[in-house]
Chain A
Amino acid sequence: MKWLSDDKLNRLRTIVNDPDLSSTKYTFVKELGRGGMGAVYLAEDRELNRLVALKVLNTPDITDDLRRRMIREAQIIAGLEHPGIVPVHDVGTLPDGRIFYAMKYVRGLRLDEYATQGASLNDRLRKFQAVCDAVAFAHAHGVIHRDLKPQNIMIGSFGEVLVLDWGVAKTRQNFHQSVYKNPCQSASNQTLDGTVIGTRDYMSPEQARGEIDQVDERADVFSLGAVLKFLLSDKATKAAKAICLKAMADSPDSRYASATELSADIGRLLDAEPVLAYRENVFEKISRWVGKNRFLVLLILAYLLMRIFLIFTSRS
């Protein structure tokens, strides 16, 4: 008997794991990542001659419910046409029965990688505002992401912001009315009460307690607050920290009512306007005004200095 070398064994293992795309218009390139329910591969669309990201259901026991969930995930993303939400191009079935969907392949960095590459605080806040706007759009269409975290946000090579991984998204009634042409085709989106969905450091207290019925848009607002906390440095202003605290309040009622409200407060922070989350004192108001109108203040100071200079020269 001849034993196979480790290299050959590893190669065989990879071939077995790689999806069989022979019946599709895609050619396998490489694996990009692996999650709880599926794996994401880089593939080439031979018809359109472009690279796409393929998400393939990748669990050993594929049930009809899992298949429905996967299709539902693709339908959710396809229903959310927004520049901040990664678009789905195609959905299909592999020869082995596994469901896959093709989406835009985003070249760029994850938000956590982007933050560590020396982006300024204002740049980070602008990207964060774009995330809030994409999430607000999803909320307006009845979709709650439930797993917002820096690893699920991509910054494209042209600075575009894309929210990914809508696999555990929860849909509300208005989503079915606005997105599905035939509501009967919609898959079950029920998650049993007590099931904990999300990522520990970014999930709201109600998610962590498994109170599925209590999870609404404000759970995403909490996660956005946690993402903001991740993006803020220790030198962040009190106003920025207050926005973070308000978004991450334990009680949903104490948080921003929507991602739009949170985005608006970030906009005010960027424009050096007073934010809703923080009541500043007189000195802070003056300091903010001076910071915002630095050039005008310098001009007036130059004028006063010139006046003082003229007074002294006319006396001498």
Chain B
Amino acid sequence: MSKPLIGVILGAVLGAIDGLTAWFTPEVRNELGGIVIGSTIKGIIAGIAIGFFARKFKSLPIGILFGSIVGALLAFPIALMQGDYYFQIILPGTLVGLIVGFATQKYGTSPATANS
């Protein structure tokens, strides 16, 4: 499995789980569908970015750092739109990015480089 594909799958799954946890916040429960879809799309975007990064740079610490930054950056505008829950949105987003960053560095295959 390629690194971007691992990023997409893991980003989508963790993003969906991330969105589903909004169910525990009664104030936003009626917007759950939108939150889950938005969170999943956010996870997919993060997964693609982190997956392609892992393809270019083979370094576990840098991959984890990049994943965490991408996760935090993508979560930030959502927290800004909500106007509240900064901690509750940015922290999980960062952790999801970190996990995807780790997984794409550790697993998945890079395309073979042709010898000239």
Q: Which residues of A contact B87 (CB under 8 A)?
A: 310
Contact with A along B86-116 (1 / 0, CB 8 A): 0110011001101100110010000000000
Q: Are A303 and B95 in contact (CB under 8 A)?
A: yes
Say yes or no: is B14 at the interface (Cβ < 8 Å to chain A).
yes
Interface range on chain B (Cβ under 8 Å from partner): 10 to 19
Q: Are A314 and B88 in contact (CB under 8 A)?
A: yes
A295 to B102, CA, bound (A): 9
CB-CB contacts below 8 Å: A96-148 with B: none
Q: Which residues of A contact B24 (CB under 8 A)?
A: 311, 314-315
A299 to B67, CA, bound (A): 13
CB-CB contacts below 8 Å: A275-316 with B: 295-296, 299-300, 302-303, 306-307, 310-311, 314-315
A296 and B95 in contact, given A307-B21, A311-B24, A314-B88 (Cβ under 8 angstroms): no
A302 to B14, CA, bound (A): 13
Q: Which residues of A contact B98 (CB under 8 A)?
A: 299
A157 to B98, CA, bound (A): 42
Say yes or no: is B82 at the interface (Cβ < 8 Å to chain A).
no
A173 to B95, CA, bound (A): 63
From A304, which residue of chain B is reached at the shortest CB distance? Answer: B17
Q: Which of B25, B96, B102, B106 contacts A314 (CB 8 A)?
A: B25
Which secondary structure characterizes the binding site on chain A? helix
Q: Which residues of A contact B92 (CB under 8 A)?
A: 303, 306-307, 310
Which secondary structure characterizes the binding site on chain B? helix
A300 to B18, CA, bound (A): 12
Q: Are B99 and A296 in contact (CB under 8 A)?
A: yes
From B99, which residue of chain A is reached at the shortest CB distance? Answer: A299
A37 to B61, CA, bound (A): 59
Q: Which of B18, B25, B91, B102 contacts A296 (CB 8 A)?
A: B102
A307 to B103, CA, bound (A): 20
A-B interface contact total, Cβ < 8 Å: 36
Interface range on chain A (Cβ under 8 Å from partner): 10 to 19
Q: Which residues of A contact B88 (CB under 8 A)?
A: 310, 314
Smallest CB separation, B27 vs chain A (Å): 9
A306 and B95 in contact, given A295-B102, A314-B88 (Cβ under 8 angstroms): yes
A295 to B95, CA, bound (A): 14
Q: Which residues of B contact A307 (CB under 8 A)?
A: 18, 21, 92
Q: Are A303 and B14 in contact (CB under 8 A)?
A: yes
A306 to B21, CA, bound (A): 11
From B14, which residue of chain A is reached at the shortest CB distance? Answer: A303
A315 to B21, CA, bound (A): 13
Q: Which residues of B contact A300 (CB under 8 A)?
A: 99
A311 to B14, CA, bound (A): 17
Q: Are B102 and A299 in contact (CB under 8 A)?
A: yes
Q: Which residues of B contact A310 (CB under 8 A)?
A: 21, 87-88, 91-92
Best-buried of A300, A302, A315 by chain B (most CB within 10 Å): A300
A252 to B24, CA, bound (A): 62
CB-CB contacts below 8 Å: B7-29 with A: 14, 18, 21, 24-25
Smallest CB separation, B36 vs chain A (Å): 14
Q: Which residues of B contact A299 (CB under 8 A)?
A: 95, 98-99, 102
A-B contact sample (15 more), CB < 8 A, given A307-B18, A310-B88: A295-B102, A296-B99, A296-B102, A296-B103, A296-B106, A302-B95, A303-B92, A303-B96, A306-B91, A310-B21, A310-B92, A311-B24, A314-B24, A314-B88, A315-B24
B-contacting residues of A (Cβ < 8 Å)?
295-296, 299-300, 302-303, 306-307, 310-311, 314-315
Q: Which 6 A-B pairs have the closest CB atoms?
A: A311-B24, A299-B99, A303-B95, A310-B88, A307-B21, A314-B25
28 contacts between A and B (CB under 8 A): A295-B102, A295-B106, A296-B99, A296-B103, A296-B106, A299-B95, A299-B98, A299-B102, A300-B99, A302-B95, A303-B14, A303-B92, A303-B95, A303-B96, A303-B99, A306-B91, A307-B18, A307-B21, A310-B21, A310-B87, A310-B92, A311-B21, A311-B24, A311-B25, A314-B24, A314-B85, A314-B88, A315-B24
